[in-house]
Amino acid sequence: MSETARTTGASGTAAAAPSLGGHHFPSFSRRETNVAMTLALLAWTVAVFDYGLFGTLLPAMQSDFGWSDSTAYLVNTLIAIGTAVVAFGVGPVIDRLGRRRGMMVTIGGTAVASVLTAIIPTRLGAGSTAAVVGVRSLGGLGFSEQSVNATYLNEVFAVTEDTRKSERRGFWYGIVQGGWPLGFLLSSALAAVALDQIGWRGMYLVATLPALVLIVVIGRKLRETPQFELQQRLHALKREGKNAEAHELAAEHGVTHAENAPIAEIFRPDLRRNTIVLSLAWIVNFFGINIFSVLGSSILANAKGVELSNAFWMLIVINLIAYFGYIFHGWLGDRIGRKKTIVIGWMISGVAFALMLSPIVNTAPLIIGTYAAGLFFLVGPYAAILFYMGECYPTDCRGTGSVIIGAMSQPGTIIGGFLFTAAAAAWGTGAAALWVGAVGTFVSGLLMILARPVARLEH
């Protein structure tokens, strides 16, 4: 795989990491790498906390807004359409602003969405519903944070002095990507202990505070990657008409300098196949993500007859177990390859969810066990696929490729949402979750078989 940009210069005190060319890149120290991982984990957890609140609080909001079950599912689908519009615009911005500022922008989006959600009136009928859709669509910024993380940490691990993290990068990234179930766990835990006291509006206000703090900390503590900094220098030379100097600088660092826009680059012949296959896999897999992860409380309540208060506690346990799915799949991806890990995980997940929805699973321990297994193998492979996506693309289009593919989750939510809403209206929530969610998850694993293996990003 051709690599695009590696930098010379942000931190003169940093040690040098070798490149393929004659120059060296300033490396990330062990401390800088740990700071990057910690802030990335916190940023993703906070983003998911806001993103997951809507699904967690949907039954409570549904009562206040006067929505039926099918209307609530439809609202969730309409939000996905708005989220897609926002998310698709983030990729090219990240490849222009940088990874650090991109993280600040995505977290800022979650803070704004949380505040505005808390002040939406409930008595305006269709106007209130439209306001919910519009405001929650800003969640596309927060959702895109995971792709910014994957892009950022791919480049950090390629130049870190910490050999443990460089050699086992999938495992360490799995810890960071585990912010997804941690965010849902926090939203479920907060709902369980505070919903009756502060209401769903108060919970959204609580979600705003950590996002605001993180924006400040990231701005002060997080270092931009040397790869992006070189890319900035190359673009600056190109703007000044110094194309020869740009190509010479790129060659000195053992990289190539693309002339095309990032969106065009991800569809060039050697990248096109994975762009298409990964996009399709994300679309279909998010049939299952939307149903079993985002709408977990609704599935437990409407498909399995669990009381809402009990559903919150069950989801805490389920999401805690799911967190270790990221660590496991990150580790497994380092051992057997990320593509195989994704295929195996998603196919097992589809089977586990089908079992959970069957009539024979009718006690709390069985429901928790099968649901946790399904979520473990559903969300865990994202530790592998997000890192795999970063390895698919060179620096100048890595952010665009990762975010555009990640944004395909929203068409998946939209398509799956309409299918689920229609099926639930016709057959009930349980049957709809089986044929749309469980089957969709299994099929997404089959689609990943078509992806092209890629070389690990080494510089």
CA angle 374, 379, 383 (to 5 degrees): 140
**pLDDT for position 3:** 36
**pLDDT for position 263:** 66
**pLDDT for position 5:** 36
CA torsion, points 360, 363, 369, 374, in degrees to nearest 10? 50
Residue identified by tokens 């510089």 is 459
Token pair, residue 193, equals 């202990």
Mind listing the pLDDT tens digit for each residue in 384-417?
998 788 787 776 677 677 777 877 887 898 899 8
Q: How many CB atoms sit inside 10 A of residue 336's CB? A: 12
Count, residues in the chain: 459
User: Which residues are registered as beta bridge partners of 340?
Assistant: none
For residue 409, how many C-alpha atoms fall within 13 Å in the half-sphere facing its CB?
A: 25
SS (H, E, C) the chain: CCCCCCCCCCCCCCCEEECCCCCEEECECHHHHHHHHHHHHHHHHHHHHHHHHHHHHHHHHHHHHCCCHHHHHHHHHHHHHHHHHHHHCHHHHHHHHCHHHHHHHHHHHHHHHHHHHHCCCCCCCHHHHHHHHHHHCCHHHHHCHHHHHHHHHHHHHHHECCHHHHHCHHHHHHHHHCHHHHHHHHHHHHHHHHHHHHHHHHHHHHHHHHHHHHHHHHHHHCCCCHHHHHHHHHHHHHHCCCHHHHHHHHHHCCCCCCCCCHHHHCCCHHHHHHHHHHHHHHHHHHHHHHHHHHCHHHHHHHHCCCCHHHHHHHHHHHHHHHHHHHHHHHHHHHHHCHHHHHHHHHHHHHHHHHHHHCCCCCCHHHHHHHHHHHHHHHHCCHHHHHHHHHHHCCHHHHHHHHHHHHHCHHHHHHHHHHHHHHHHHHHCHHHHHHHHHHHHHHHHHHHHCCCCCCCCCCC
CA angle 57, 209, 402 (to 5 degrees): 75
Residue identified by tokens 């009136």 is 121
> 437 near 303, Cβ under 8 Å?
no
**pLDDT for position 261:** 55
**pLDDT for position 452:** 86
> 144 near 282, Cβ under 8 Å?
no
Compute the chain's Rg from CA coordinates: 22
**pLDDT for position 254:** 62
Token pair, residue 404, equals 């555009």
**pLDDT for position 433:** 95
Residue identified by tokens 């009930």 is 428
Q: Give CA–CA dist 240/237, Å, rounded.
A: 5
Mind listing the pLDDT tens digit for each residue in 264-319?
678 777 788 989 999 999 999 999 998 998 788 889 988 998 887 788 889 889 98
**pLDDT for position 215:** 93
**pLDDT for position 259:** 56
Q: How many CB atoms sit inside 10 A of residue 233's CB? A: 18
Q: Which of 442, 135, 119, 410 shows the shortest CA–CA distance to 288?
A: 442
Assign residue 337 a region: left if phi > 0, alpha if psi is -120 to 50, beta otherwise? left
CA angle 459, 43, 278 (to 5 degrees): 55
Q: Which of 51, 140, 47, 148 shows the shortest CA–CA distance to 96?
A: 148
Q: Which of 372, 374, 389, 383 shows the shortest CA–CA distance to 341?
A: 383
Token pair, residue 256, equals 């190539």
pTM of the model: 0.73
Q: Give CA–CA dist 209/215, Å, rounded.
A: 10
**pLDDT for position 94:** 64
Sites in the chain below the pLDDT cut of 50: 1-23, 457-459
